[in-house]
Structure formats: structure tokens, C-alpha cells
């Protein structure tokens, strides 16, 4: 006849055994998961590394310049387009006389400030600048092209992919 | 009765024995438990266990996956990095059929030779490399062949995303990732094993500008090469360094040797009239000449078998500023005589022109200086002949001349604390005079083509004939221009040299520094100044006119003995 204490001990031992198995399987499963995660982290880091290199590769100034020339209506900033706040002409008010913009030296800046004026675009100051043939029709054309269109053009630009050659 | 007693004693004895044995057994068990307990205590409480530590270490991903640190420019743009690749090796002992294995491998890697692979696979070795740095696709294809005995080693391969743009600066590594040239070699110890990327002082945008402008001009004047350098005069940081022709560091082995030659640091040249900057600065600093002094430049100087003449002879007395503006060799040589050999040598030494530079590149040369510093040497050195230095030497010394007179060693590493240290070579007053003179040359002297409106470019042209086999060649020139801007408070030195330009119709047949190199300097400044955030100045503003004013007329007391024009 089994005594009650022995019975309790037997049950406890069985429970302990069961718990041990459970924990052990759990640990093993977690270990597998850890291994997978570590591998994933490593491959992701490598991928980030490769992508950084590719990003730098795609950002070669020569390539950007060529893309900008083909797809954008911008020219490099020239010294004439930069000025300090101190040299800005006073804003015209009712009680003030007309701003002193026509004394020769400030005329370029004054024109630049007045961006809405029809002659806002200064003659291309840089010799590699695009000749500003942008008439009013061309302007609306450029405006109607969305960023997506431009991006698609750039991405499908296989001339550059071929020129890249490294991948 | 007796038998019972006997029986009792036997029984008692047996019990005694049993108890003793039990005691021994119990003691053994207790000892075993004690050992287990002690071990448990050791593991749980003391916890200093090698295996545990190793197990814990395995669970953490190494934060730095690459053994060699990246190299970035001053704005953090990646210039050199390492990419993970796999390299194919084989254990020939395990390859059963080398011939057929070689055929199949060459199908995947067509650049390998079948005979070589077969020979390697049948070698009596345990390890042979077959091909380093495979692409992931190639690795997959090789794996799919399923040839036993082949295996991959994870490796790194150095790549340079910007290719030839900074090839001479960064250099390259060999297949085992040891630096073989440029920064990769000189900073090898700092790069390998570092976690943080190495930040250079280079600005890749300016580098592109200089390279583009220079390459266009070399093409235009059918020159054999050229070089360009942009230096921050306040810190000595090199913003850009270009030497053409250049090479792609991604494939250095394919590059012809002459493309790997860095004209800026390794080449030493007689740079010509740009040296008049130092001649004038030394003369003004030592008091050998003043701004109002005049020299007789009416006829060439004849000394022993040499003849010093002017390129554009004025045949009259010239004041010190006029000598600079018109780049008179005769006047400069006479000023050098007033300075004297000893003082000239001392100051050139202070300017770092007689020793190696401290730039972080292994490709460097010692300047070529006369063994004996005679009077004729002093005279020719005044206009940049008879002494050969690298363009970097020159740019660094010009920076010291215009920045208030402080020489700061040129560096390619981004400075953490700018504007520290340096050696005072010239007084601030001399530096101020030199800035005026340099501006004068661009405003209405030989360097007009270098002007960039609003940026107050100052500079000096230099045209030197190259020495071939000990004699000067009339049509082989080193044409150069050194520019500083803005002249009122210089920020950058831009030096451009063009090697053997040929005169063209557009330049009226001239191939001098003012026609070839000066436009490049102007073009570079126009494009880089807005990028570097330099505000254009109003050249007609009274304070600027005053700051750059030069009196070209001679003082009453000095100079010519009587007023003859």
C-alpha cells in the first residue's frame, strides 16, 4: 500500500519531469529563433552596407549632374544669386518713396527678388547652364509632370545602368 | 542456554557489520551530494564559468561586420567601403575527378583557365584558392554544381563607389585588404579594425568640379596631363586634389603606370613665376624692398653664361607692385639679390619648401634644391627656376602667405579642432600687402582670366619650361595659376597646373598660365564658392577698394636715381 507522502512525492516528481521537458523544448525553440534572428540581422546589415555603397555609387556628382541636366530646369547657383539680408531693398510702403533699386548696383538683386516678374529668369550665368528656352508653354509642361514621372524616367534610364557597369 | 547466547552474539555482530557498512555507504553518498552542492553553488552563485561566457557571447551579433572601416568625405559621403563576398577554394584530396570538375567550374567562371583549375585541383595539397571574391550569383551557380571538395570562405572586398574621382587620394588595397597606395596605405593601421569611418577633409563635390574643369582644359589645349588642388587656408585641410590622367581604384592592376602617378604630391616641378609670391613676401618681410621701391628692368641681366630676361619686356624702371603685376623676371632677380641667399633660403625653409610635406600620403617627393646656394641660384629661384617642389608644397606655402602669415601643415584628414597651431612665417602686415598684390594681378595683370565676379580672386600666373636632359625645352611648358579668394580675407587657395599645353587659336597661340590654368581657377571658384557658402562681395564698395588698393607709383625717396622714364 502506498503511503500518502510517497504518492505526493511521485506526483511532484512527475510534474517536475514534465516541466523540465517543457522548459527544455522551449529553450531549444528559442535558441533556434535566436539563431534565425542573428542570421537575419547579419544579412540585413550586409544588405544595408551594400545599399549604402550603391547609394554612394548612384550619387556620383557626374551622374547627378547629367540627370539634373536632362530632367530638371535648374542651373548651378551663381554668385549673383546670393545676397545678405542687409543688402535687401526696403519693402515699398504707402508712405515711403519707391525703393532705390535703380542705382545700378542693386539692379540684379532687385530683379531676382521679384520672382513673379516676366523677366525673372536671369540670363544663364554659367556657361554649362541650360539655355533658358523655357517659354510659358514649356513651363506649364514641366509643371504638369509629376515627381513620379520624373522618377520613373530616371529609374528606367538604362543608359546609366549600362554606364555604371559595377553591378 | 549457551547456544542461545552464542546465537545472540552472532546476530548482534551481523547487525553491527550491517550498520558499519550502511554508515560507509551513507558517508559516500553525503560526500557525493556535497560535491554536487558545491558545484551547484559554483555555477549559480559564483557564475565565473568559461563555457557560460562563451555561450552568452554566441547570442550577440558582432556589431561591426566589416574588418576594415569605411572612408568618407567631409560631408560623410562614402568613398571607400568593404562589401561581403565569398571566395572559392578547394581541398584537392577530396576532389575525385579534377578534369571534369575543372570543366564544369570554368563553365560558371569563364575568366578562369581550364588547365590552371585542373592543375590546381590535382595538386597534392589540402587547400588551393580557385577564385577570390565571387558575386552572389556565381556562388549560387558553383553551389549548384555540387562538386565535393569545393567550399567558400567569407571575405571582404574593398569597393570605391566614386571610382576614379578620388583614386589618387584614397589609393587601393590588395586582395588580402592591405593598403597599397594612398590613404589606404598610409592610414592602414587606423582603418583596419576601426569601427568609426575615417573622415577625410575632401569635399567630393569640389573634387568633381576641379576634375571636370581641369579635364576640359587639358582636352582643349592638347596637354599630356594636369593637376589641381584646393586648400583651406585657415586649417590646411585639402578640399580637393586631382591629378590627371587618373585611374579607377576598383581595378588598379589594369591601370597604366603613368595614370597612378600623383602630380600633386609625387611630382616635383620647376613651377615658374608663382614663386614670385614668396620672393615678394620675403622682400617685404625682411625690409629688403618696400612697396614704393623701384628696380631697373630696362635690359636683361647677364650673369656668367646665363641671361635673365622678361617674357613681355617693358624696358623701363618698375616699382615692386609693377614687378609682380607684370611678372618681371629681371625685377624679381634684383629683388632677390637685395634679400640675399641666406635669408631667401631661411624663409623658403620656414615655408616648408625645402622638406617633405606632412600630407598623409605615401606618394611624396623631396623638393629638388640646389646643392650650393650661389648668387645665380638665388636669382633664378626668385622666379621659380632652379628649385623643384610639388604643387602641394606650393599651395601650402601660398596659404601661409595669405592667411596672415601662418604655415599650417596640409592634411587630408578632417580636422576636429580647426585653426590651431601653425608657425608664424610672415607678419600679418606682409600678408596683407601680398593679398593686395595678388588681387592686382587678377584685376589688371596677367591673371585676368581667373576672375570670378564677386569673389575677389587674387592670384599669380606661372609658366615654366620643362627641363629635358638638362636643357630647357621651349615648347614643353608647365603652365599654372595659383588663386586665392576672397582676397580681402582668403578662405581657399586654388592651384591648377597643366602639363605641356599647346597654344591654340583661341588663346592666340599662347600656352602660358594666364591662358590655360587661370580660366580653370576662375571656373572652379565660380562653381565652388556658392557650395562652400561664401558670400559674394561688392567689388566697388569703398571699404573693399580701400582694403585692396595698391599704389603703383614709386615713392619720392626710393628707387631710380633720377626721373627718367
Note the pLDDT tens digit of each residue in B25-74.
Answer: 999 999 999 999 998 888 777 766 566 665 565 555 555 556 788 899 99
The string of DSSP codes covering A16-53 is HHHHHHHHHHHHHHHHHHHHHHHHHHHHHHHHHHHHHH
Q: Is the peptide bond before B245 cis (omega within 30 degrees of 0)?
A: yes
A82: chain B residues, CB-CB within 8 Å:
530, 535-536
pLDDT band at B348 (very low <50, low <70, confident <90, very high): very high
At B50 the pLDDT is 61
Helices B391-402 and B276-286 meet at what angle, rounded to 10? 40
Residues in B closer than 8 angstroms to A30, CB to CB, are none
pLDDT score recorded for residue A12: 94
- H/E run at residue A113: helix A107-113
> Tens digit of pLDDT for each residue in B154-176?
888 888 999 889 999 999 998 88
The 8-class DSSP code of residue B411 comes to: B
Confirm whether B322 is domain-assigned.
Answer: yes
Q: Work out the pLDDT band at B116, boundaries 50, 70, 90.
A: confident
- Residue B86: which of B139, B128, B126 has the closest Cα? B139
Residue entry with cell 601661409: B400
pLDDT above 60: residue B137: yes
Please enumerate in sequence order all residues whose Cβ is within 8 A of that of B19, keeping only pairs 6 or more positions apart, or say none.
none
Whether A84 is covered by a domain: the verdict is yes
Both A114 and A154 in a single domain? no
Name the nearest CA neighbour of A124 among A114, A134, A116: A134
Same-domain check for residues A71 and A135: yes
Q: Closest Cα partner for B475 from B496, B498, B497, B501?
A: B501
Contact A59 B77 (CB under 8 A): yes
- Cell 598684390, residue located: B437
Q: Which residue of B has its CA nearest to A125?
A: B526
Whether residue A2 is found in the same domain as residue A41: yes
Which H or E run includes B100?
A: helix B98-108
Region B287-294 average pLDDT: 87
> Quick one: pLDDT at residue B465?
86
Number of domains in chain B: 1
Do A40 and A112 belong together in one domain?
Answer: no
Report the SS3 class of residue B494.
strand
Q: What secondary structure letter does DSSP report for B60?
A: S
b/e string for B488-524 if b means 16 or more Cβ within 10 A? bebbbbbbbbbbbbbbeeebeebbbbbbbbbbbbbbb
Residue B361 has pLDDT above 60, yes or no: yes
Give the C-alpha separation, B362 to B357, whole Å: 11
Residues of chain B found within 8 Å of residue A45, distances taken between Cβ atoms? 61, 65
Band (pLDDT 50/70/90 cuts) for residue B548 is: confident
Q: Is position B448 within any domain?
A: yes
In a domain, B25, yes or no: no
Q: Which CATH number is B212's domain given?
A: 3.40.710.10
pLDDT score for A119: 39
Whether B339 is in a domain gets the answer yes
Whether A78 contacts A126, CB under 8 Å:
yes
Q: With beta carbons less than 8 A apart as the criterion, state whether B363 and B350 touch.
A: no
pLDDT of residue B556: 53
Q: Does any domain span residue B179?
A: no
Q: What is the pLDDT of residue A106?
A: 45
- Closest CA relative to residue B431, chosen from B458, B462, B450: B458
Identify the pLDDT of residue B307: 84
Domain of A135, in residue numbers:
60-75+130-167
Q: Which three cell numbers stand for residue B320?
A: 615692386
Instruction: Establish if B157 touches chain A: CB-CB under 8 angstroms.
Output: no
State whether A2 and A40 are in the same domain: yes
Residues A91 and A157 in one domain: no
CA A2 to each of CA A6, A14, A16, A17, B429: distance values in angstroms, whole numbers, following the listed order: 6, 16, 20, 21, 111
Residues with Cβ within 8 Å of residue B174, at least 6 apart in sequence: B180
What are the C-alpha distances in Å from B336 to residues B289, B330, B378, B459? 10, 10, 6, 20
- What residues contact B144, with CB distance under 8 A and at least 6 apart? none
A101 contact partners, CB below 8 Å, separation of at least 6: A89, A107, A110
**For residue B440, how many other CB atoms are within 10 A of its CB?**
21
Q: Which residue of A has its CA nearest to B163?
A: A57
Question: Is A110 a member of any domain?
Answer: yes
The share of chain B scoring above pLDDT 90, in percent, equals 36
Q: How many CB atoms neighbour CB B427 within 10 A?
A: 14
User: Which among A46, A79, A105 is the nearest to B530, CB-wise?
Assistant: A79
pLDDT tens-digit series, residues A89-143:
777 666 555 555 444 454 444 344 444 434 334 444 444 433 333 333 333 333 3
Spatial contact of B534 and B487, defined as CB atoms under 8 Å apart? no
Structural domain includes residue B360: yes
Could you tell me if A42 and A17 lie in one domain?
A: yes
Q: Coil, strand or helix: which one is B485? A: strand
Residue B307 lies in a domain: yes
Residues A32 and A20 reside in one and the same domain: yes
pLDDT per residue over A54-96, tens digit each? 888 888 888 988 998 899 888 877 777 777 777 777 776 665 5
pLDDT for the residue B460: 93
Count of domains for chain A: 3
Q: CA torsion angle for A38, A40, A44, A50 (degrees, to 10)?
A: 90
Cα B229 from Cα B227, distance rounded (Å)? 7
Three-state SS annotation for B184-248: HHHCHHHHECCCCCEEECCCHHHHHHHHHHHHHHHHHCCCCEEEEEEEECCCCEEEEEEEECCCC
In whole angstroms, what is the distance from residue B331 CA to residue B308 CA? Answer: 10
CA of residue B360 relative to chain centroid, distance? 6
For chain B, say whether A52 makes contact (Cβ under 8 Å).
Answer: yes
In Å, the largest CA–CA distance within chain B is: 166
pLDDT of residue A98: 52
β-pair type (B71-72, B198-199): parallel
In this prediction, residue A165 carries a pLDDT of 35
List phi, psi (to 5°) of B229. -145, 140
Decide which of B32 and B473 is more confident: B32
What pLDDT does residue B540 have?
82
Within a domain: residue A146? yes
- Name the grid cell of B294: 623701384
Whether the per-residue pLDDT at B210 is higher than 90: the answer is: yes
**Listed range (A150-154, B361-365, B545-549) with the worst mean pLDDT:** A150-154
Question: What confidence score (pLDDT) does residue B397 get?
Answer: 94
Q: What percent of chain B has pLDDT over 70?
A: 92
Q: Is residue A55 assigned to a domain?
A: no
Q: Is the pLDDT of residue B76 over 60?
A: yes
Contact indicator for B281, B401 with CB cutoff of 8 Å: yes
Q: What is the mean pLDDT of chain B?
A: 86
**Cα distances (Å, whole numbers) of residue B19 to B14, B29, B33, B110:** 9, 15, 21, 85
Same domain, A69 and A84: no
Does B471 have pLDDT greater than 80?
A: no
pLDDT at B495 > cutoff 60:
yes
Whether B273 sits among the annotated catalytic residues: the reply is yes
Q: Is B173 exposed, middle or buried (0-12, 13-18, 19+ CB in 10 A)?
A: buried
A to B CB pairs, distance under 8 Å: 80
Q: Does residue B79 lie in a domain region? A: no
Residues 6+ apart with CB under 8 A from B249: B80, B160, B163, B164, B167, B170, B171, B172, B181, B182
The answer to whether the beta carbons of residues B244 and B215 sit under 8 Å apart is yes
* Contact with chain B for residue A62, Cβ under 8 A: yes
Same domain, A31 and A4: yes
State the best of A49, A69, A80, A85 to mutate against chain B, taking most chain B CBs within 10 Å.
A49
Average pLDDT over residues B430-436: 92
Say if residue A21's pLDDT is above 70: yes
Q: What is the pLDDT of residue B120?
A: 87
- Same domain, residue pair A86 and A151: no
Instruction: Output the nine-digit C-alpha cell for A166.
Output: 559595377
Instruction: Kindly list the residues from chain A whose CB atom is less than 8 angstroms away from the CB atom of residue B454.
Output: 79-80
Amino acid at each position: 500500500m502506498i503511503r500518502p507522502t510517497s504518492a505526493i512525492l511521485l506526483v511532484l516528481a512527475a510534474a517536475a519531469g514534465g516541466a523540465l521537458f517543457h522548459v527544455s523544448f522551449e529553450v531549444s525553440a528559442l535558441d533556434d529563433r535566436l539563431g534565425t534572428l542573428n542570421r537575419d540581422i547579419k544579412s540585413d546589415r550586409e544588405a544595408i552596407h551594400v545599399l549604402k555603397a550603391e547609394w554612394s555609387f548612384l550619387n556620383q556628382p557626374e551622374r547627378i549632374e547629367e540627370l539634373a541636366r536632362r530632367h530638371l530646369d535648374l542651373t548651378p547657383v551663381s554668385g549673383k544669386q546670393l545676397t545678405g539680408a542687409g543688402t535687401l531693398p526696403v519693402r515699398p510702403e504707402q508712405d515711403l518713396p519707391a525703393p532705390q533699386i535703380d542705382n545700378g548696383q542693386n539692379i540684379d538683386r532687385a530683379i531676382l527678388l521679384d520672382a513673379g516678374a516676366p523677366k525673372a529668369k536671369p540670363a544663364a550665368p554659367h556657361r554649362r547652364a541650360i539655355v533658358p528656352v523655357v517659354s510659358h508653354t514649356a513651363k506649364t509642361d514641366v509643371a504638369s509632370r509629376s515627381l513620379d514621372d520624373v522618377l520613373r524616367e530616371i529609374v528606367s534610364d538604362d543608359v546609366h545602368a549600362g554606364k555604371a557597369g559595377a553591378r | 542456554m549457551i547456544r542461545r547466547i552464542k546465537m545472540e552474539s552472532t546476530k548482534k555482530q551481523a547487525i553491527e557489520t550491517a550498520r558499519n557498512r550502511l554508515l560507509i555507504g551513507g558517508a559516500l553518498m553525503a560526500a557525493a551530494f556535497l560535491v554536487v552542492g558545491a558545484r551547484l553553488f559554483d555555477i549559480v552563485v559564483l557564475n565565473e564559468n568559461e563555457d557560460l561566457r562563451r555561450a552568452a557571447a554566441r547570442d550577440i551579433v558582432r556589431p561591426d561586420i566589416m574588418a576594415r572601416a569605411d572612408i568618407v568625405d567631409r560631408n560623410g559621403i562614402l568613398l571607400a567601403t568593404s562589401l561581403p563576398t565569398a571566395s572559392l577554394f578547394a581541398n584537392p584530396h577530396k576532389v575525385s575527378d579534377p578534369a571534369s570538375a575543372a570543366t564544369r567550374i570554368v563553365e560558371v567562371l569563364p575568366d578562369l583557365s581550364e588547365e590552371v583549375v585542373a592543375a590546381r585541383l590535382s595538386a597534392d595539397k589540402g587547400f588551393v584558392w580557385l577564385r577570390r571574391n565571387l558575386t552572389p550569383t556565381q556562388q549560387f551557380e558553383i553551389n549548384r554544381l555540387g562538386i565535393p571538395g569545393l567550399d567558400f570562405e567569407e571575405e571582404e572586398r574593398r569597393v570605391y563607389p566614386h571610382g576614379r574621382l578620388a583614386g589618387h587620394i584614397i589609393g587601393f588595397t590588395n586582395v588580402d585588404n592591405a593598403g597599397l597606395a594612398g590613404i589606404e596605405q598610409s592610414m592602414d593601421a587606423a582603418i583596419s579594425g576601426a569601427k568609426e569611418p575615417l573622415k577625410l577633409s575632401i569635399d567630393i563635390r569640389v573634387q568633381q568640379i576641379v576634375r571636370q574643369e581641369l579635364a576640359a582644359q587639358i582636352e582643349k589645349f592638347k596637354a599630356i596631363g594636369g593637376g589641381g588642388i584646393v586648400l583651406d587656408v585657415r586649417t590646411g585641410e585639402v578640399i580637393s586634389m586631382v591629378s590627371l590622367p587618373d585611374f579607377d581604384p576598383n581595378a588598379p592592376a589594369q591601370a597604366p603606370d603613368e595614370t597612378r602617378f600623383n602630380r600633386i604630391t609625387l611630382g616635383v616641378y620647376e613651377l615658374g613665376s608663382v614663386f614670385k609670391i614668396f620672393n615678394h613676401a620675403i622682400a617685404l618681410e625682411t625690409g629688403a624692398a618696400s612697396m614704393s621701391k623701384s628696380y631697373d628692368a630696362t635690359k636683361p641681366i647677364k650673369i656668367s653664361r646665363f641671361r635673365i630676361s622678361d617674357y613681355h619686356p617693358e624696358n623701363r624702371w618698375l616699382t615692386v607692385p609693377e614687378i609682380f603685376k607684370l611678372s618681371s623676371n629681371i625685377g624679381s632677380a634684383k629683388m632677390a639679390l637685395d634679400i640675399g641667399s641666406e635669408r631667401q633660403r631661411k624663409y623658403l625653409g620656414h615655408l616648408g619648401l625645402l622638406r617633405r610635406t606632412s600630407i598623409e600620403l605615401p606618394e611624396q617627393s623631396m623638393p629638388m634644391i640646389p646643392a650650393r646656394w650661389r648668387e645665380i641660384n638665388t636669382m633664378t629661384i626668385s622666379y621659380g627656376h632652379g628649385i623643384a617642389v610639388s604643387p602641394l608644397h606650393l599651395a601650402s606655402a601660398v596659404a601661409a602667405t595669405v592667411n596672415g602669415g601662418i604655415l599650417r601643415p596640409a592634411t587630408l584628414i578632417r580636422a576636429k579642432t580647426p585653426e590651431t597651431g601653425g608657425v608664424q612665417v610672415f607678419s600679418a602686415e606682409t600678408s596683407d600687402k601680398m593679398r593686395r598684390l595678388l588681387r592686382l594681378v587678377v584685376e589688371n595683370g596677367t591673371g585676368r582670366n581667373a576672375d570670378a565676379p564677386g569673389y575677389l580672386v587674387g592670384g599669380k600666373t606661372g609658366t615654366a619650361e620643362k627641363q629635358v636632359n638638362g636643357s630647357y625645352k621651349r615648347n614643353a611648358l608647365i603652365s599654372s595659376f595659383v588663386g586665392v579668394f576672397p582676397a580681402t580675407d582668403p578662405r581657399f587657395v586654388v592651384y591648377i597646373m597643366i602639363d605641356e599645353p599647346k597654344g591654340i587659336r583661341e588663346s592666340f597661340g599662347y600656352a602660358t598660365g594666364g591662358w590655360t590654368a587661370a580660366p580653370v581657377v576662375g571656373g572652379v571658384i565660380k562653381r565652388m564658392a556658392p557650395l562652400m557658402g561664401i558670400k559674394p562681395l561688392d567689388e566697388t564698395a569703398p571699404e573693399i577698394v580701400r582694403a585692396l588698393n595698391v599704389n603703383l607709383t614709386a615713392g619720392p625717396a626710393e628707387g631710380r636715381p633720377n626721373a627718367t622714364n
